[in-house]
Structure 1
Amino acid sequence: MEAVADDFLDLAMAKALANPLRQRILRELELVGEATSTVLAARLGVTSGGTSYNLRVLAEHGFVEEVRERAHGRQRWWRLTRRSVRFPVRSRQSPELRAAIEELNRLWLAEDAETFARFQDVRARMGPWADAVPYSRGSIRLTLDELAAFFEDYLALLQKYQRPADETPLEARTVLTRFFAFPEPQEETT
């Protein structure tokens, strides 16, 4: 499964993603690799009809795909695609798209905070992985063009280390990475 070229998020894609259950489905597929709607339903505590419908919505927008070689009868297996989606700049977003993106960002930030809290709760039991939290908090002075280049470099670094499950060493773990950069709101602009 190769990475798909970057696409800009449109309103339909944003609405598809800005759904809490669909976010949970994507997260589970990130963890388990491949699953059926029944497996996902059991893991998420929801109905298989609900997961099946939401998997089809995610597939319609290219976020998941069927694993055809594992299909058996009516049983359908699903996996994430490596689709890279970018947000259009805020000034080019319609009010509807902006609202959907803001909801999506709210969901993602809440999930990140909850996931980090769960990590803190189990960290003492994680052996050497308990120390595996590279953390940096800083600031840099950049132009808009330099910030865009910095972000592209970050994405290239992530892509360098992304690989399919069948090429991943057994001792590897999923490592959640986040990039968050924004201008200092109190600094005067000139």
Structure 2
Amino acid sequence: MANRPAIRQLSDPGALKALGHPLRQRILQHLGMHGPATSTTLSRALGENTGTLSYHLRQLEQNGFIEDIPERSNGRERWWRQISRDLRWPSADELDEESQQLLDEITEFKVEEELELARRFFRDHRRYGEWAKASRGLTHLTREEIDEFFEAYMELLSRFSRAPDNASPGARPVFLRFFTMPASEDPSS
């Protein structure tokens, strides 16, 4: 059973700025899917020059999203890995105005990515065979029960979370998504 990663509330404007760049999101996704990489291997994979990638890698490192792997690095070539964290968005009332604006910007460009994943699932799910699973549900929960459900989900996600270099033979990167929202706009129903 995997150790549950440390919970990190993303309320720091510096961390939000670090996540607020689309190339940094692509770097994190690549490291999450393929494991450790150098700026050279990332350059080939992402189609960016190594100077640009080095800058963005330093921003991610300074804000605690990735780390250098000293035992793999040699000379000028540094290897990077994603730091396993349970990243949580704070509620709107916990953020100052600047942080809320940064979070809104991140959410705005992530929406298109999420919609494309949903479109891809519905378009290609037959091609993925047993790799494609979906579930939808409706229930009646209190706010406290939603929190309890979310924590149970995060525990389950942690239990099955594997980095590429710790994955079982035959494992593939798999996107997982979860969200809750009221079924109606009327708070009394």
- Which TM-score applies when normalising by structure 1? 0.88
Q: How does 1:123-142 map to 2 (within 5 A)?
A: 129-142=128-141
Give the corresponding residue for 1:88: 90
Give the corresponding residue for 2:18: 16
For residues 186 and 8 of structure 1, the distance between their equivalents in structure 2, rounded to whole angstroms, comes to: 27
Cα shift at 1:25: 0.7
TM-aligned CA distance change 1:82 to 1:3, over 3 Å = farther
Does residue 151 (structure 1) correspond to residue 150 (structure 2)? The answer is yes
Helix, strand or coil at the partner of 1:157: helix
Helix, strand or coil at the partner of 1:183: coil
Give the corresponding residue for 1:182: 181
CA RMSD of aligned residues (A): 2.2
- Which TM-score applies when normalising by structure 2? 0.88
Question: Which structure's relative contact order is higher, taking Cα pairs within 8 Å and 6+ residues apart?
Answer: 2
Give the corresponding residue for 1:76: 78
Cα shift at 1:4: 4.1
Give the corresponding residue for 2:6: 5
Cα shift at 1:185: 4.1
Q: Is the 8 A contact 1:36 1:76 kept in 2?
A: yes
Structure 2 residues not aligned, in runs of 5+: none
Give the corresponding residue for 1:42: 44
Q: Is the 8 A contact 1:123 1:130 kept in 2?
A: yes
- Read off the aligned partner of 1:93 and give its amino acid letter: L
Cα shift at 1:31: 1.9
Helix, strand or coil at the partner of 1:35: coil
Q: What stretches of structure 1 move > 6 A for 4+ residues in a row?
A: none
TM-aligned CA distance change 1:123 to 1:133, over 3 Å = closer
For residues 88 and 142 of structure 2, the distance between their equivalents in structure 1, rounded to whole angstroms, comes to: 20
Give the corresponding residue for 1:57: 59
TM-aligned CA distance change 1:60 to 1:2, over 3 Å = farther
Q: How does 1:152-167 map to 2 (within 5 A)?
A: 152-167=151-166
Structure 1 residues not aligned, in runs of 5+: none
Q: How does 1:104-119 map to 2 (within 5 A)?
A: 104-117=106-119
For residues 78 and 2 of structure 1, the distance between their equivalents in structure 2, rounded to whole angstroms, comes to: 21
For residues 125 and 138 of structure 2, the distance between their equivalents in structure 1, rounded to whole angstroms, comes to: 28
Cα shift at 1:152: 0.3
Q: Is the 8 A contact 1:62 1:83 kept in 2?
A: no
